[in-house]
Structure 1
Amino acid sequence: MLKLIQNEWMKLWSKKGTWVMVILIAAMIVGLSGLLRLLNELNDYSSWTESLQQELVQVEEELASPDVTEEKKAELLQRQEEIGYEIESTMEMSKPKSSEEVILETSGMMSLVMLFMIIVAAGIVASEFSQGTIKMLLSRPVKRWKILTSKYVTVLLFGLTLTAITYVASVVSAYIFYPTAEGNSVLLYGSEIAVTAVFGKSIYLVLLAFVYVAVMSTLAFMIGSVFRSTALSIGISLFLYFTGSMIVMFLERFEFAKFILFAHDLAQYETGFKMLESNTMPFSIAVLLAYVVVLLVVSYTTFMKRDITA
C-alpha cells in the first residue's frame, strides 16, 4: 500500500499543474495580505470621522435647545448614540490589524485549499479514464480497492500539504505587512485571545476548516470515480462548491436543510457565524462522518464493478 501511495504521490507532483497550484496559493495569500494592508492605508478614514464629529456637534446643539420636543429629543438621543458607535467603528477600522489577528484569520484562506483539492480529487480517478491509462493501471496484480485507497490517501496528503503551505504563507505575510499586537490579547470575532495562544487557536481553526475541506474533496473524489470525464467531474464538483451555501440558504426554512452537507463547516462554531442556528458541532461531525461513509461506499462500489473494456 505504501508503494502505491508513493507512486500516486510521484505521479501527482510530476504534473506541472500541481506546482502551479502550490505557487498560486502561496502567491495569492502573500499578495492578498499585502493588498489589504495597502487598501487600509489608502482609505481616508479621517475625513469620514471629521464629518461624523461635525454631525455629532449639531446633534448636541439641538439637544441643548430649550425648544426641542420630547419626541424630537428621543430621535436626537438615538442618533447621538448611533454617531458615537460609527465614530468608534471608523477609528477601529483605521487601525491596521496586528500580525496576530491576521494569523487567527488564516482559516478563512482554506477556501483556496478547497478549490485546488476539489480539482485534484475530481480528476485523480477520472483522468485515468480520460487519458486511457486505466487499463494499464488495473492490469497490475494489485486489488482495485488498494489502488483507489492509494488515490484517496494521496488527495488527503496533498490537502494537508496545501494547508501547511497556506498557514506558513499566512504567518510569514502577517509578520511582513502587519505590526505585532499591543498588549497581552487580541480580538477574534469579539472574543479575547491571549497573544501566547494565537498559534494554538489559529491551528485549531485551520484544522476545523480542513475537516470540511476533506469531506468536500471526498464528494469530488466520488464524482470523479463515477464519471469517466475529467472535465465533467471537475465541473460538477466546482458547481457544487460555489453553490453549496446558496442551496442551504434557499432551503433553510425546511427541516431537512440541517442534513445538507454544505451546512456543516465546523469552523462556523468557533467564529459564531452559523448557517443554521439549530445545528451543533457534535451534530455536524456526525453528519459529516455519515456523508464520508456514503460517498466512499459509492466510490469503491463503482470503481470495483466498473468494466474497463467498455
Structure 2
Amino acid sequence: MIGLVQNELIKIWEKKNSWIFPIILVLALIGGSILEMKMTPQYKGDDWRGSVQSEINKLEKQLPTAQTEESLMKSGKDFNWDETKEAIQMKIQDYKSNLEKDVSPYTTSWSNMNGMVIGMKSLITLFVVIICAGSVSSEFSDGTIKQLLIRPHKRWMILLSKYIAVLIYAAILIVFLMFVGYLVSIAFFGIGSFGDNVSIMGTSGEVVASGGTLFLKMILYYLPGLLLVLSLSFMLSTLFKNQAIAVGIGVFVLFVSSTIGQMIQMLATEYTWLKVLVFPHLDQTIFVFQDKIIETVTMPMSLGILFIYYVLFMAITFLFFQKKDVSI
C-alpha cells in the first residue's frame, strides 16, 4: 500500500498545477497583506494601548472646535467627513471599545492570520477539488487505467491509494498555508503574541478571542467541510471517465454550495426536511461564531449529517469502481 501511495503522490506532483497552486497561495498571501497594510492603520510597537490612548486624547482636544455634519452642509462649503464632530466621536468610541476589549485596532500578525484563513480557505478547497476530481478520471482520459489495473493489487487498494494521496496533498496545502502565512504575517506586521486578542466579525456578531487559539480553531473547523468536498470530488472522478466533466461538476458544486446553503437556512424553518441536505453543513467554521446553524442543528448534529454523507460518497465510490468497465 505504501508503494502505491508513493506512486500516486509522484503522479500528483508531476502535474504542473500541483506546483502552481502553492505559488498562487504565496502571491495571494503577500497581496492580501499589502492590501491590509494600505487599508488599516499600522503600529508595530509593543505599547499599542499607549498609542490608542494618545489618539483618544488628540481627538478629544479636536472635539470642542469640530463642527457637526449638519452645520457644515448648511454652510455650503466642501468638507472632509472625517473631520466632523460625528466622525471624531465615532473614532473615540471605537478606540475606547478597543481598550475595553483589549483588542488592538492595528493589524497584528495573528489578526492577519485569522483574516487569511477566511480569505484563503475557498482557494485551497478549489485547488483540492481540481486535483481530486481528476485523480481517477485522468487515468481514463489519458488511457493509462489498464496499465494501472494489471498490477497485482486489488482494485479497492488502488483506489484507496489514490484517495490517501489526495488527502496528503490537501494536508500539505493546509500546512503550507499555515507556515507561509505566518512568515508573511511576521514580515509585514511583526511578531505578535499567541495570546493577544483579535476581533473577527462573524454571521452573528463580533468574536473576541486569543489570536493563536482562534486561528487553530478556524483551521480545525474548516477540515470536516474540506474532507466532504474532497470526497465528493473523488466520487465524481470515479463516476466520470472524462476529466473535464468531473472537474467541472466538482468546481460548480463548490461555488454554488455556499449560496444554496444560505437559501436552505432561510427556508428550513418552513421545510424541516431541508436540514438534512448537505449544503448548510459544509462550512463548520460558522460554529466559531454561533452555536447553531439552523434552529436546533448544533455542531455534533451537523457533523453527524456530514458523516452520513461521507459514508455514502465513499460507498458509491468504491462499489462503482469495483464494477466499472475499464475498456477504453
Q: Could you tell me the TM-score, scaled by structure 2's length?
A: 0.76
Q: Which runs of 5+ in 2 are unaligned?
A: 43-54, 73-84, 99-103, 201-205
Q: Find the counterpart in structure 1 of residue 5 from structure 2.
A: 5
Listed as ranges, the matches of 1:32-47 within 5 Å are 32-40=32-40
Identical residues among aligned pairs (%): 29
Alpha-carbon distance change, 210 to 182 in structure 1, aligned in 2, over 3 angstroms: closer
Paired residue secondary structure (1:54): coil
Paired residue secondary structure (1:267): helix
Give the ranges of 4+ consecutive aligned residues of structure 1 lying more than 4 Å apart after TM superposition: 56-59, 80-87, 89-92, 179-184
TM-superposed deviation, 1:35? 2.0
- Indicate yes or no: 2:223 matched with 1:210: yes
Alpha-carbon distance change, 12 to 180 in structure 1, aligned in 2, over 3 angstroms: closer
Residue-by-residue CA offset, 1:161-210 (whole Å, 9 max, x unaligned): 0000111122112111124559963133334434xxx4344223212212
**Partner Cα distance (1:155, 1:205) in 2:** 22
**Partner Cα distance (2:232, 2:41) in 1:** 41
Q: Find the counterpart in structure 2 of residue 101 from structure 1.
A: 111
What is the letter of the counterpart of residue 263 of structure 2? F
Greater percentage in helix: 1
**Partner Cα distance (1:11, 1:182) in 2:** 40
Alpha-carbon distance change, 258 to 82 in structure 1, aligned in 2, over 3 angstroms: farther
**Partner Cα distance (1:54, 1:183) in 2:** 42
Q: Find the counterpart in structure 2 of residue 71 from structure 1.
A: none
Alpha-carbon distance change, 137 to 177 in structure 1, aligned in 2, over 3 angstroms: same
- Indicate yes or no: 2:247 matched with 1:231: no
Alpha-carbon distance change, 185 to 120 in structure 1, aligned in 2, over 3 angstroms: same
In the alignment of these two chains, the number of paired residues is 281
What is the letter of the counterpart of residue 108 of structure 2? S
Paired residue secondary structure (1:276): coil
Alpha-carbon distance change, 99 to 277 in structure 1, aligned in 2, over 3 angstroms: farther
Q: CA RMSD in A?
A: 3.3
**Partner Cα distance (1:3, 1:183) in 2:** 40
Q: Find the counterpart in structure 2 of residue 289 from structure 1.
A: 307
Paired residue secondary structure (2:134): helix
Q: Find the counterpart in structure 1 of residue 188 from structure 2.
A: 177
Paired residue secondary structure (1:9): helix
**Partner Cα distance (1:251, 1:262) in 2:** 8
Residue-by-residue CA offset, 1:36-79 (whole Å, 9 max, x unaligned): 2223369xxx9xx999x6337969xxxxxxxxxxxxxxxxxxxx
**Partner Cα distance (1:260, 1:58) in 2:** 55
Judge which range, 141-150 or 246-255, deviates more.
Answer: 246-255
**Partner Cα distance (1:169, 1:187) in 2:** 20
Paired residue secondary structure (1:188): strand
Judge which range, 206-215 or 176-185, deviates more.
Answer: 176-185
Residue-by-residue CA offset, 1:79-114 (whole Å, 9 max, x unaligned): x9999557645997x943111212233431221110
1:122 maps to which of 133, 138, 143: 133
CA contact (8 A) 2:195 2:212 kept: no
Q: Find the counterpart in structure 2 of residue 300 from structure 1.
A: 318
